[in-house]
Structure 1
Amino acid sequence: MTFYDFARSVVYGVFKPLYRVEVIGKENVPAEGGVLLCSNHIDNFDPIIVGMMAPRPVHFMAKEELFKVPILGKMVPHLNAFPVKRGMSDREALRKGLAVLKEGKVLGLFPEGTRSKNGELGKGLAGAGFFALRTEAHIVPCAIVGPYRPLRKLKVVYGKPIDMTIIKENKGNAEQATELIMGEIRKLLNEYK
């Protein structure tokens, strides 16, 4: 058993009953091939919840500062996370993200780039569109329908993969691709509120 699997089982045993987590649409995450999993971001626990509930191991970009925290900094790489410098174009993180997808793994992203202060879906950054257009990965929208309150139901909804064909054929840009992804996340949030 890997450290990731061990941590996942421990966290699952604590978080699922504490937040009465309901998972919807797990079957929408393809069993094979690269998957770009794009979710809204409402809480610091989001990566844990999205990663724990997904049917496959998820690799996340995590803010560089986490890797410098004593003890946690040593564990984060074993949880399939890699550092990203926030607020600037981090070429190394982009290369690593592309490699994860091209290796047929799952890359988890929060396109808003930071947590929503009011719980509403914010504007997505171009990074999600960049990965969507540069790879053949399946793009799966995900909605976390909160808030996080002990013993109140929290939903994690995985939507059907998004078809990027039209944007690719029309030579669309990363911003347009991200808008499409954010639109699908918004639809899930509205449907499962």
Structure 2
Amino acid sequence: MDPLYRVSWQFCRLVFRLCFRWQVEHVGRVPAEGGVILAPNHASFLDPPLVGAAVTRPVSYLARKSLFSFPLLGWLLRRYRCIPVDRNATAPAGLRTLLERLQAGEAVLLFPEGTRSPDGSLRPAQVGLGLLVVRSQAPVVPVRLFGTYEAWSRHRRLPRPRPVRVVFGHPLDFAPQRREAASADRARLKAIYQEIAQIWEEAVRELS
């Protein structure tokens, strides 16, 4: 790990233990090396650092492109392995960089729902997950986050101490979907993306 990343990683782990009584389950299911997509549900500001602090390897994150325009913040985001996201772009933001990092054997964090849930419930995955799965060879590790909506939802300005839990699922391979997508027409490709989203959603719901 980058020294700054490691210090922040250790600090987050301490804060989560003391303030949120966090529990991490089955982190050993995350491959220790090679490209991997970490795919959690998304209900809170806490979600990215919670997942990143739970695993023992560096993780690449997505962050709004506008945040990189602030000199100090932009420098920090780059040190924290963040990838700029242009939410107004027509193509899935950051997809090329995500693919490059997966091909380089890195772990990337992707929220398939795209944005924080307004009520804490699991929402359907967007097209980005299917695109990333089809164009990469990386497995997808479903992750279920519990308690983060209660701790710091999008409706609260500040967090409050509530127990949180991070549960990792078994890696999903998606090899059949990748093989079929190689020769599928546009309509079938769209259906494959939806199938991948459904498999991810069911895997997350099964985690408890």
- On whether the aligned pair clears a TM of 0.5, the verdict is yes
Unaligned runs of 5+ in 2: 152-158, 182-188
Q: TM-score, normalised by structure 1?
A: 0.89
Measure the CA separation in 2 of the matches of 1:78 and 1:16. 24
* Equivalence map 1:1-193=2 (5 Å): 2-69=3-70, 71-90=72-91, 93-146=94-147, 147-148=150-151, 150-171=160-181, 173-188=192-207, 192=208
Q: Which has the larger radius of gyration?
A: 2
Unaligned runs of 5+ in 1: none
Measure the CA separation in 1 of the matches of 2:66 and 2:205. 29
Give deviations 1:138-158, integer Å, cap 9, x for gaps: 210011111327553211011
Measure the CA separation in 1 of the matches of 2:91 and 2:13. 32
Larger deviation: 90-99 or 105-114? 90-99
Root mean square deviation of aligned Cα: 1.9
| 1:109 partner letter | L
Measure the CA separation in 2 of the matches of 1:122 and 1:87. 21
Q: TM-score, normalised by structure 2?
A: 0.83
Measure the CA separation in 2 of the matches of 1:81 and 1:5. 15
Measure the CA separation in 1 of the matches of 2:92 and 2:112. 17
Measure the CA separation in 2 of the matches of 1:100 and 1:110. 16
- Quote the sequence identity (%): 32
Instruction: Report how many aligned residue pairs link the two structures.
Output: 189
Contact persistence 1:84–1:90 (CA under 8 A): no
Measure the CA separation in 1 of the matches of 2:54 and 2:112. 19
Measure the CA separation in 2 of the matches of 1:38 and 1:87. 22
Contact persistence 2:124–2:197 (CA under 8 A): no
Measure the CA separation in 2 of the matches of 1:186 and 1:165. 21
Q: CA deviation at 1:165?
A: 2.4
